[in-house]
């Protein structure tokens, strides 16, 4: 753990209502930007008041809760209690998919700019330094190379997983693959964020500690005691035109394989949230979520917490869901570790933010990549069932890669 200000005195926090700042992402400096944006609303941040590199292991969420409690207790805030969630000190975070992998991080930025429901505010912690806002940089030509496995090797892994499902070892496993991108010039994360937010406004565009993406999947939102989640499982690529789109969407809704995959994901969420909630609603039937590159089976889940758990407590209970792990989850994780041939890092792990009141929003880090200098490691995957076709699963992953490829190439 490190605290950037290096002081034992309470960190002074000031939140001030401001006029509409316009595009939040356009306000970011180039160095280490933090973001959580959907339909132009959300939070961005820069600077570093406090940072924790969370030790891997089964106790990592408990460790993170203790660290957050200490940091927020040391932050003296004079903010207006009437301001929405996300005012006062806020921590942006990313947790690795596998509890045994290093790389989980929490950061409290020194400056946070936010807008929600027609209101905007600015939070500063300590003596926030003056930032220089430099022009956006284009990464230039992008070249791609295989990640941990070639495409044929990954298809072979999918076939092995499907065979084990047919043999009754498990019901579903989610397998991912990576793609390496190298740019001609250093990659400007701000440019990626602006492109993603413009192209995928329905998604949550995020940036935390080098992990950048636009996820369609809301793991959990907590506002007071109210919670919401969006479960996605079952995917088809977009069609070549409106008629093909309708045909593909209807086929997805009618697909026994995809409906079963979605039912596994909903059952996982219901089983996890029920003990935490006084009320919980899960829909009987999924709906279609249509994005620029794919269509998903989607279900909106809502509830009311029973015991005042923070959003991070709920994240800890939910991760990993069947939508990104499989069913039964513990067995699916073992199969992923055995077959996938790579460390997912933050891909398919929780990413989002939490404030001092325990409110916040966390998504599953899908449609994402890890950016460092001129290089980016992109991730995509899909749910494998007993009747999955390896070529179709590869095509689905390729369609999901296009999100980050668009961000890089424009």
Question: Which residues are identified as catalytic?
Answer: 172, 217
CA distance 287 to 274: 22
244's tokens: 């093909």
Cα–Cα dist 250/234, whole Å: 12
Angstrom distance (rounded) from CA 89 to CA 86: 8
Contacts of 68 (CB under 8 A, 6+ apart): 91, 106, 312, 354
Q: Which residue has the tokens 């009747």?
A: 387
For 383, half-sphere exposure in the C-beta direction (CA atoms, 13 angstrom radius) is 29
C-alpha span between 352 and 361 (Å, rounded): 6
């Amino acid at each position: 753990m490190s605290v950037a200000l290096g002081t034992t005195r309470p960190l002074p926090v000031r939140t001030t209502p401001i006029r509409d700042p316009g595009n939040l992402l356009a306000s970011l400096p180039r160095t280490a930007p933090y973001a959580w944006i959907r339909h132009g609303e959300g939070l961005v941040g820069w600077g570093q008041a406090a940072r924790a590199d969370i030790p891997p292991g089964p106790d990592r969420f408990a460790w993170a809760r203790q660290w957050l409690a200490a940091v927020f207790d040391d932050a003296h805030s004079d903010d207006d209690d009437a301001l929405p969630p996300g005012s006062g000190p806020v921590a942006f975070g990313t947790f690795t998919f596998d509890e045994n992998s290093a790389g989980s991080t929490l950061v409290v930025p020194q400056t946070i700019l936010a807008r929600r429901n027609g209101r905007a505010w600015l939070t500063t912690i300590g003596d926030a330094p003056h930032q220089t806002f430099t022009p956006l940089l284009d990464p230039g030509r992008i070249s791609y190379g295989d990640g941990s496995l070639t495409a044929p090797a990954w298809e072979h892994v999918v076939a092995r997983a499907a065979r084990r499902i047919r043999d009754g070892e498990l019901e579903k496993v989610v397998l991912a693959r990576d793609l390496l991108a190298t740019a001609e010039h250093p990659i400007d994360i701000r440019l990626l964020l602006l492109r993603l937010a413009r192209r995928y406004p329905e998604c949550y565009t995020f940036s935390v500690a080098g992990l950048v993406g636009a996820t369609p999947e809301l793991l959990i939102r907590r506002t007071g005691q109210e919670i919401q989640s969006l479960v996605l499982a079952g995917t088809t690529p977009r069609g070549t035109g409106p008629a093909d789109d309708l045909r593909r969407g209807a086929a997805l809704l009618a697909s026994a394989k995809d409906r079963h995959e979605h039912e596994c994901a909903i059952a996982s969420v219901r089983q996890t949230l029920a003990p935490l909630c006084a009320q919980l609603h899960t829909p009987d039937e999924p709906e279609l979520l249509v994005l620029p590159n794919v269509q998903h089976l989607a279900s909106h889940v809502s509830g009311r917490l029973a015991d005042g758990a923070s959003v991070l407590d709920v994240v800890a209970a939910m991760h990993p869901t069947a939508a990104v792990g499989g069913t039964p989850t513990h067995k699916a994780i073992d199969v992923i570790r055995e077959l996938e041939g790579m460390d997912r890092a933050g891909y398919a792990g929780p990413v989002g933010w939490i404030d001092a009141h325990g409110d916040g929003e966390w998504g599953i880090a899908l449609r994402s990549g890890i950016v460092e200098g001129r290089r980016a490691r992109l991730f995509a995957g899909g749910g494998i069932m007993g009747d999955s076709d390896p070529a179709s699963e590869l095509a689905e992953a390729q369609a999901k890669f296009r999100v980050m490829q668009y961000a890089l190439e424009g």
